[in-house]
Structure 1
Amino acid sequence: MDTDRNILHSIGNTSLVQLHHVVPQDCGKVFAKLEWQNPTGSMKDRMALSVISRAGEDGRLSPEGTVVEYTGGSTGASLALVCAAKGYRIHVVSSKAFSQEKLDHMVSYGAQLTLVLTDASGFTKQLFLDMIEAARQIALKPNTFWVDQLNNTDTIAGYFPLGEEIWTQTNGEIDAFVHSVGTGASLRGVATVLKSHNPKIKIIAVEPGESSVLSGGKPGAHDIEGIGIGYTPPLWDPNLVDEVLAVKTADAKNMARQLSRKEGIFAGTSSGGNVLAATRIASKLGPASKIVTLMVDSGLKYLSTDLYRTDSAPHH
């Protein structure tokens, strides 16, 4: 028995499965990496472990320190999990614009929560800027470590192992990697690794159709939690990206529901957007192609939203 292991050792090494029933005929194979197998049900656990471990090792975060961060939810739960396991305090800034499950999840790990008020429905650039400013103010207190995920390059390193897992699980047989952009850290981390193995692998970024700033559109309110901050994130590296696809909120939600009903994969809205974009690329690249995308988080994080609520789902 390995008695040194703790919950943090269960982060990573998630399954890669082929999608069969939501992929159109006569197009390439689409594979989904089940990142909701991480302990908080989100790929963000990888990033949180990397950031907190590195800050603790180099002294930016002292043993008695408090971690501070702004987050739409999944990052908050992931950071709170790592802080709980390592014995740090954490103060999270978020908003009621995000699902109640995500807010409750953070608090369950012992996070202190500050909510920023918003007038708009959905996620807007202004809301993100207000959350960032609130976190910055809290981080002015002594003995705090502000993660600042939009600017912290340690977040990218957290996804290098994810890239290596994809390369290993596909035996290097991968033509494209398709993934949505929030901070841009996960896309950049995975893309860096995959391109280092094979520069010909296509990297496809996904953003909300209502706020398609990466492809030259205007920012707008949308309802795909965790992506599309309304401006180009500082960690965005266009040199690593071959194409940007825009997916509308309604289409992403529809695909998420299809994944649950037809594949038995219960995931969030951005995962639906990822798969929809991946099927488009698989159609474009043809039957011999192999496309990988990520199931970013679990559908359990969205039960209070209209994504899976019984009264909003069609009855058959």
Structure 2
Amino acid sequence: MSVIPNLNGQRVSALSAVGNTQLIQLRKIVPPTGAKLFLKLEYQNPTASYKDRMALSVIEGAERKGTLGPGMRVLEYTGGSTGSSLAMVCAVKGYKFIAVSSDAFAKEKLQTIRAFGGDLHLVPSDEGLITPGLFTRMEEETQRLAAEPGTFFVDQFHNTDAFTGYEQLGRELLLQTSRIDVFAAAVGTAGMLMGVSRVLKAQNPRIHIVALEPASSPMLSRSLKGNHRVEGIGVGYVPALLTRENYDEVIEIEEKEARQMARLLARQEGVFAGISTGLNVVAAARLAAKMSAQDTVVTVAADSGLKYLAGDLFYD
């Protein structure tokens, strides 16, 4: 991708647009009493997802280590947002990208991977549901492709280079608000929650970190697997990046509530985001309602509602 000099004479690309997203206060969907609730608009990243942070940090981490270089291809299994982010980073850097995904995930996300030049290997789902078995089959297909020469397997569920990108998110939060009492976010790979937690707890160990999951798949809270349609989270096992000392509580949220909140955010707050964002805000609002007016709860708008228009999210 061609680059042009910016006003400071530095050469920039689309990758320079990753991060530095805005933090807004939600005012209409929160109770009149209780803590202030802030939402980090991660859909302002280039592919409209917080996963851009992870994609850039893991690719540049691999380049520094020498495990990824010219002529190699990048491989990952993904529900879509990670694939879109990796495809974008690879397009800028000149790597071929292969995504193993499934028809269970939003068509918009899969089409975005192709738009950035990525190749898709689709694993059939069970009637469109996100199930533990689906992730197992996707991982098996990925391992087969990873064995081929010249392949860098990102391995987002174990790659600690993801923390680099998400720690920057935590540092941005500290600059954007003078006080954080609670940070709550849904768990997929757990990279974002753990990266932010490492920064926030280093600044103030009393900040309460809350991990969120779908009530129909309460693996973190009750060690139970289940099916759901909240893309990007609730993978059916405890992710390796999730360390118990870096979070304080787990809350289960009903998928129906998450979907309703996504619609309310658009109609009442002007925030156009996806299902996991709805889940994040349901939990954050519930926590804020129990706290004082001096307190602050922060969560994340993980991706844009534009990624869900082909589905039923925005239909009552």
- State the TM-score, normalized to the length of structure 2: 0.96
- Which residue in 2 is equivalent to 1:282? 288
Among 150, 158, 168, the residue aligned to 2:157: 150
What's the offset of the Cα at 1:217?
4.4
- Which residue in 2 is equivalent to 1:208? 214
Matches of 1:114 and 1:210, distance apart in 2: 28
Deviations 1:174-220 (A, max 9, x none): 10101000000000000000000000100011100100110014111
C-alpha contact (below 8 Å) 2:75/2:151 kept by paired residues: yes
- Written as runs of structure 1 = structure 2, the 5 A alignment for 1:177-216 is 177-216=183-222
* Structure 1 counterpart SS, 2:40: strand
Deviations 1:65-84 (A, max 9, x none): 00000000000000000000
Q: Which moved more, 1:125-134 or 1:78-87?
A: 125-134
Unaligned ranges ≥5, structure 2 = 1-6
- Which residue in 2 is equivalent to 1:266? 272
- Which residue in 1 is equivalent to 2:260? 254
C-alpha contact (below 8 Å) 1:121/1:221 kept by paired residues: no
C-alpha contact (below 8 Å) 1:80/1:109 kept by paired residues: yes
What's the offset of the Cα at 1:118?
1.7
Q: Does 1:73 align with 2:80?
A: yes
Matches of 1:209 and 1:121, distance apart in 2: 19
Among 18, 22, 25, the residue aligned to 1:11: 18
What's the offset of the Cα at 1:26?
1.0
What's the offset of the Cα at 1:286?
2.5
- Which residue in 1 is equivalent to 2:47? 40
Runs (4 or more) in structure 1 with deviation over 4 Å come to: none
Aligned residue identity for 2:61? R
Q: Does 1:244 align with 2:268?
A: no
What's the offset of the Cα at 1:257?
0.3
Among 135, 146, 154, the residue aligned to 1:128: 135
Q: Does 1:168 align with 2:175?
A: yes
Q: Which moved more, 1:13-22 or 1:54-63?
A: 54-63
- Which residue in 2 is equivalent to 1:28? 35
Matches of 2:290 and 2:143, distance apart in 1: 44
Deviations 1:237-265 (A, max 9, x none): 11111111111111100000000000000
What's the offset of the Cα at 1:158?
1.6
C-alpha contact (below 8 Å) 1:267/1:296 kept by paired residues: yes
Matches of 2:222 and 2:215, distance apart in 1: 11
Aligned length: 309
- Which residue in 2 is equivalent to 1:59? 66
* Structure 1 counterpart SS, 2:216: helix
What's the offset of the Cα at 1:120?
4.1
Matches of 1:17 and 1:225, distance apart in 2: 24
Matches of 1:86 and 1:146, distance apart in 2: 16
What's the offset of the Cα at 1:156?
1.8
C-alpha contact (below 8 Å) 2:103/2:128 kept by paired residues: no
Matches of 1:289 and 1:63, distance apart in 2: 49
What's the offset of the Cα at 1:288?
1.9
Q: Which moved more, 1:196-205 or 1:115-124?
A: 115-124
Among 231, 236, 240, the residue aligned to 1:225: 231
Among 44, 49, 52, the residue aligned to 2:56: 49
Deviations 1:42-91 (A, max 9, x none): 00000000000111122101211000000000000000000000000001
* Structure 1 counterpart SS, 2:133: helix
- State the TM-score, normalized to the length of structure 1: 0.96
Matches of 1:163 and 1:132, distance apart in 2: 30
Aligned residue identity for 2:259? K
Matches of 1:175 and 1:20, distance apart in 2: 18
What's the offset of the Cα at 1:287?
2.2
- Written as runs of structure 1 = structure 2, the 5 A alignment for 1:106-121 is 106-121=113-128
Q: Which moved more, 1:215-224 or 1:102-111?
A: 215-224
Residue identity over aligned pairs, in percent, reads: 49
Aligned residue identity for 2:158? N
Matches of 1:118 and 1:300, distance apart in 2: 23
* Structure 2 counterpart SS, 1:148: coil
